[in-house]
């Protein structure tokens, strides 16, 4: 695109949503029991934590305390998205691919690789006491191991 071309790429001004001192902090721990590989939507639990914190505007951090499970923000309307994402992760880091690390089984190293390319922590803005997620976005734990696990998530909210 040439300089001065306004057909695409126009960026509007930032709309101020809130401003002020940080006045509150809240932290908590959440345990999620997984059934094996797949996505667990826990958006409602994070939203409830935020409501209970009394924080109206700020940030919430969601942190997964594991190296073989991870977090993502993804579409929450069509479960086919989750199926396709798991298929893509399976292709990216297949089991039984001859990894050196395998002390905990053939799903161990692929789980670490999948966590490497997803997230162990998410930060979500809070606006008027709610998560500033898009219409079709949800917060998910992704279990990368073949058997059920209990995964610990640490939540921290900061704001006013």
pLDDT digits (tens, 9 = 90+) for 47-64: 999 999 999 999 999 999
pTM of the entire predicted model: 0.91
- Does any domain span residue 9? no
**Radius of gyration of the chain measured on its C-alpha atoms:** 19
Give the CATH number for residue 133: 2.60.120.460
- Does any domain span residue 21? no
- Does any domain span residue 31? no
- Does any domain span residue 25? no
* Nearest 10 degrees: Cα torsion 153, 72, 118, 58: -70
Tell me which long-range contacts 11-14 makes (C-beta under 8 A, separation of at least 24).
none
- Does any domain span residue 18? no
- Does any domain span residue 58? yes
Domain holding 149, by residue range, is: 40-159
- Does any domain span residue 17? no
Quote the number of domains for the chain.
Answer: 1
Please identify every stretch of the chain with a pLDDT value under 50, giving residue numbers as ranges. 1
> How confident is the model at residue 110, as a pLDDT?
96
- Does any domain span residue 110? yes
């Amino acid at each position: 695109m040439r300089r001065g071309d306004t057909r695409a790429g126009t960026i509007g001004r930032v709309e101020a949503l809130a401003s002020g001192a940080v006045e509150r902090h809240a932290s908590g721990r959440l345990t999620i029991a997984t059934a094996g590989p797949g996505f667990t939507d826990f958006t409602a639990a994070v939203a409830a934590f935020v409501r209970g914190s009394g924080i109206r505007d700020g940030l919430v951090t969601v942190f997964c305390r594991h190296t073989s499970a991870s977090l993502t923000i993804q579409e929450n309307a069509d479960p086919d998205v989750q199926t396709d994402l798991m298929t893509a992760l399976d292709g990216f880091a297949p089991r039984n691919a001859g990894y050196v690390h395998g002390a905990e089984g053939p799903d161990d190293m692929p789980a670490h690789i999948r966590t490497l390319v997803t997230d162990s922590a998410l930060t979500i803005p809070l606006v008027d006491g709610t998560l500033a997620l898009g219409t079709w976005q949800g917060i998910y734990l992704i279990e990368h191991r073949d058997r059920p696990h209990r995964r610990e998530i640490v939540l921290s909210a900061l704001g006013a």
